[in-house]
A and B are shown apart, each in its own frame.
Chain A
Amino acid sequence: MEPLVAEKVAPSMPRLGSLAPDFQAETTHGTIRLEDFRGSWLILFSHPADFTPVCTTEFVAFAQIAPELKKRNVELMGLSIDSTYSHIAWVRNIEQNFGVKIPFPVIADLNKEVATLYGMIMPGESKTETSRCVFVIDPNGILRAMIYYPLTTGRNMDEILRLIDALQTTDKHGVATPANWRPGEKVIVPPPKTTEAAEERVHAGYECKDWYFCRKAL
């Protein structure tokens, strides 16, 4: 458990299917490393700034889905280019004004280190604020999904829950999920990779429109 050495970070974009970039950061819950979340899913998300209206609605909304995420072994962690003191004041303000306690840590990324590492800053939108990014990192530290929203538009929590359900269903059953899929609905059987498998597929008892398009109930 040696402290990580701070290095200058080059701007980058994370890649799906690769290890999520490692970091150590100061948060409202103390010093946290990405590796501290191993064994759990993590939703790392950024917001433009504390004490702004859309971000406040999002924080309330993230706090409201936190219990559902917990049931799915998912932790949340926020980030913006603000100080720990600003974050503390804001989450206290949210509790006072909206009656919602923020249960997750928030990274104080004043030096933009994590924001730069994860490509959270879109200079065309703002050079001093992070856009509304969501990174879904699995229990092995692999980046599994990314969502980027502009400064003006609050995120959809139902979609974030749906995304988690879809990813976990894929991992558990080795299937894919169709457009607008919801838990309980039929899933997509991954297409066959050989002519022999394609032939077998037709007779495998799946609901097939064609050899490449088969669905099944779980």
Chain B
Amino acid sequence: MRSASWAPERWHGGGTPLPPVVRHLGTDDRSSSRVRVVDATLRCIARFGLHKTTVDDVAREAGVSRATLYRLFPGGKDAVVRAVVETETARLFSDLGAAMGEARDLDTLLVAAIVGAARRLSSHAALTYLLEHEPGTVLPHLAFSGLDRVLGVAGSFAAPFLGRWLGPDDAVRAAEWAARIVVSYLACPRDGVDLTEPADVRHLVETFVVPGIQALALRGPEGRVGAG
């Protein structure tokens, strides 16, 4: 069966350090104020975009003083924006991680990851505004070296989950591949392929992705068929 589940292989790669982004979500007061500023910034961006959003807009929306905001983010707007990206990335990975952790086979895991990412990204108010009105802020991350970085982050995040079935190299490559699919179909939609629909994604995963991963693993690192 081309889409047969894989017998789990234990990956003894040791613990994977959490990406630095996750450390920003803490529970102390300073942390929760930072999160309040981040969420306020997201609301501002969703309403009038990144360029027009000022530190004062954010402070007002977050219910903090300018002074407090600069204490939390000495780097000003740039630091706030960096924190927004890190926090939203961490939240995305947290959601996806929950779904991926529950998956009992490779196909289901990939479907859960792709559908989850597509749902979150396509319903993200700030991101949607930027793509529509300020594409220059987002597009550099969807092509060339910017996309390489996004794939790298996605790969590092998802690889440990895929490591239940794949060796570490193939796990990273498969994770990158899933990220490519999300970027491609969201940026350039195709009639009949809705990445937020599990049935559509399962078709893609079972037809193209899992057989490709299986073929990769059969080939081994040197590319010779049958090599370990």
Do A and B originate from a single complex? no
Interface residues of B (CB under 8 A from A): none
